[in-house]
Amino acid sequence: MHTVGFLYPGYSAEDDYPLAQKLLDNAGPYAPTLLLTHTEMREDAHRVDALLDIGGDDVLAAGVRDLENRAVCDSVIWACTSGSFVFGWDGAKAQVKALGAAAGVPTSSTSFAFADALVRMKIRRVAIAATYPEDVARRFVAFLATAGVSVVRLSTLDIITAAEVGTLGRDRLLEVARAGDHPEAQALLLPDTALHTMGSLDDLERTLDKPVLTANQVSIWQGLRLAGDKTPRSGLGTLFRSPPAD
């Protein structure tokens, strides 16, 4: 049985992870363990300088030490999209490399989890329904472009804090998804780990009739993939219906 560690900044939608644990437990035997620790967020703001700070190597290394005090992990994920893509592709790679040096196990971030999931699903055109201000969201568009993914529609909610994003309920989530979709998009992306999505993945896909990838979903998928988990699972969206390991 695998244990995947998640470094999660602050407090907003961290309860997506125990919910995901229940979904994994209900999907069959040999469920992996999802272990989450909160990393320091000196300022809760979807603003470039604040995001660079929460994704700093010192902050992530401290999170790794907390995980190591609790369990031995098979992989570790920096569960923050904006706190990774804001560094740009090369900077995000350096961030993951430093995280790997601290953890001593395979590591990744939510931004790379999105890119890897899209490659896995052979998706090259997406719509993005972002909670961030537009200037931050456009950095995610640029990040995906480096992975060969084009964005046919970008919508933004211009929400500054993760705490506010965490208050958005299921009805608002579905509304944001419908408004952010585009007929030419092969999938819709909801990129904020502060957004509660794990209990609504199948509802989102039924509503849009296409794959929907969310930040906490792809973070968990990436963690399992890096840990070597090869089990397909239902109830977690199209992404999980085929084995997550390459």
| 245: in domain | no
CATH at 66: 3.40.50.12500
Region 61-67 average pLDDT = 97
Give the residue with greater pLDDT, 229 vs 194. 194
φ/ψ of residue 151, rounded to 5:
-105, 115
pTM: 0.96
Residue 234: what pLDDT? 86
> At 29, is the pLDDT very low, low, confident or very high (cuts 50, 70, 90)?
low
Identity of the amino acid at 122:
K
Examine residue 243 and state whether it is found in any structural domain, yes or no: no
Residue 246 inside a domain? The answer is no
Residue 71 domain-assigned? yes
Residue 202 — pLDDT band, cuts 50, 70, 90?
Answer: very high
* Beta carbons of 189 and 114 less than 8 angstroms apart: yes
Alpha carbons 103 and 233: distance in angstroms, whole number = 27
State pLDDT tens for residues 77-136.
999 999 999 999 999 999 999 999 999 999 999 999 999 999 999 999 999 999 999 999
> Which of 44, 43, 24 has the alpha carbon at shortest distance from 34?
24
Instruction: Evaluate whether residue 108 is within a structural domain.
Output: yes
Beta bridge partner(s), residue 127: 153, 188
Q: 196 lies in which domain range?
A: 3-237
Give a yes or no: residue 244 inside a domain: no
**Is 227 inside any structural domain?**
yes
What total number of domains does the chain contain?
Answer: 1
Say if 166 falls within a structural domain: yes
Mean pLDDT, range 200-228, rounded to an integer: 97
